[in-house]
Amino acid sequence: MYIIAGLGNPTREYDKTRHNVGFEAIDVLADKLGIPMTEKKHKAIYGMGMAGYQKVILSKPQTYMNLSGESIRSMADFYKVEPEHVIVICDDINLVEGQLRIRLKGSAGGHNGLKNIIQHLGTQEFPRIRVGVGEKPKEMDLADYVLGRFPKELESVMADAYVAAAEAAIMMVEDGAEKAMNYFNRKK
């Protein structure tokens, strides 16, 4: 069984912001796999279904970004899912808009959501799909940037990125993370 958690902030106020790319990718993934996102437990909105022959839980933690680990740990403990089967989809300001980067493990890289997940899981060894949201302008505050929305001209680029992130997650579950890394990390 896999948990695929897309990071973001709940409430309409944060819809379509850079920080919510994980939520957007989970919505695409749920649609692709025909999984209704109707369950509300473990401080998350989630749904269960299949990706190929693998059981998957798609999750959108509702704890706000900086406390994402609380929800993911609760779900991983309840369903007895090891960290290497917890795939996290999140934003990355170090990648150009729409670029994906898949990693099997690593530091938080300054991302507070990842930092909290590492703290709660007690390991950096869980796969993640980082979705590029572009570099923050020097004169802008980081929080203002990641809580801002994409300009109109990047909306289609990001829509394609959500589809790619969903496809990457499916490939990671069905064919292994190495294959997904080889395929998606070379693009762009």
Question: Exactly one of 19, 42, 85, 111 is catalytic; which is it?
Answer: 19
- 14 annotated to a ligand binding site: yes
The beta-strand segments (E) located in 53-151 are: 54-61, 86-92, 100-103, 128-132
Closest CA to 142 of 92, 100, 70: 92
Q: Is 66 annotated as a binding residue?
A: yes
Helical axes 112-121 vs 68-79, angle rounded to 10° = 40
20 labeled part of a ligand binding site:
no
116 assigned ligand-binding residue: no
Q: In whole angstroms, what is the distance from residue 142 CA to residue 17 CA? A: 13
85 is catalytic: no
Active site (catalytic) residues: 19
Which parts are annotated binding residues?
14, 64, 66, 112
Which parts are annotated binding residues for tRNA?
14, 64, 66, 112
